[in-house]
Amino acid sequence: MSNTPTKTMTYTRLEGLKHIKAAYDAGIQTFDTANAYSNGLSETILGKAIEKFNLPRDEIVVMTKVYFPVAKEQTTSGTALLGTDTELEAKGYVNQFGLSRKNIFESVKRSLERLQLDYVDVLQCHRFDYNTPIAETMQALHDVVQAGYARYIGMSSCYAYQFQAMQNYAISNKLTPFISMQNYYNLIYREEEREMMPTLKMFGVGSIPWSPLGRGRLARPLSQQTARESKDSWIAVSKTQTDAENAIINRVEALAAAKGISMAQISVAWMLSKDPVAAPIVGTTSLKNLEDILGGIHVKLTGEEIKSLEEPYQAQAIIGHW
């Protein structure tokens, strides 16, 4: 897996093609998407890029996800259909969400059609399904691999006890185990270090964190606000603006200035120093920003620098699992 997989989430068709080609040319070989991203459009664009640029299938790694329902019309908004089971069913999405055997197989089939591929390299569970037995989910995922629709399986955004229960069931019953966990983890949100990271190390599973820049907050000084920050509803939910968070961002800014590099590069370098992180998932709507982020691969932080960046951190509420 390349050091920084890229996320193909909310691009327009033209933007998406440009970003995927630029990422591949820069050495990125892993592309992460999901059936719910832009209601299937993200997968469609990635599939078009693979075909248009003749990206070698034996070289690239394609990752997608299953759990959320996919709206009947594709959109560039990137917004997944959310709601309770009753609310989703009332909208006509009966048996079209969650980790039931039926939805897993139907979702994989539709994802492959949009991607124009025979298989994906990693099929990830986008969330934990409280309403489907773990036995049913893990058997279905195993059968998907056995059928040749996916090479490996991974998990995303759940509690450590849930991951352990699913992984233990797979191992105990000689089914396909998870090889990866895509969790929310960065310098301003390190709650995963308490339970999830030790659990992953115990199982030998790699972490591929999403939002390594904290939804962009670790990429710019506190005095700067972007259009995304003012409109992103997820930021509004997760944004605590604590003194500890502000102190960390200020230290990232100071260290970046001292080294003559960007804050994004410092944040990525810190991420790559953490075990068991295999590679952070990066996503950007700017080719310039993509090039900048990739520069973080070559930055090595000293132990003292890492300690200084982490020192202000304070415990906070769990987020990233909804």
Could you tell me the pLDDT band of residue 82, with boundaries at 50, 70 and 90? confident
259 falls within a domain: no
Of 11, 24, 37, 93, catalytic: 37
For the stretch 162-191, pLDDT in tens is 999 999 999 999 999 999 999 999 999 999
Residue (of 23, 78, 10) closest to 49 by Cα position: 23
57 falls within a domain: yes
Sign of the alpha-carbon torsion through 91, 97, 102, 106: positive
225 falls within a domain: no
Q: The domain that contains 119 carries what CATH number? A: 3.20.20.100
Beta-bridge mates of residue 155: 125, 181
159 falls within a domain: yes
164 falls within a domain: yes
Q: Does 149 participate in catalysis according to the annotation?
A: no
Q: Is 204 helix (H, G, I), strand (E, B) or coil?
A: coil
Range of the domain at 96: 6-182
Average pLDDT in the 213-224 region? Answer: 96
pLDDT at 1: 44
**Cis peptide bond prior to 276, omega within 30° of 0:** yes
> 134 with 165: CB under 8 angstroms?
yes
Q: What is the mean pLDDT of the chain?
A: 92
260 falls within a domain: no
1 falls within a domain: no
Rounded alpha-carbon distances, angstroms, from residue 152 to 35, 124, 136, 200, 206: 17, 9, 17, 16, 13
Domain count across the chain: 1
75 falls within a domain: yes
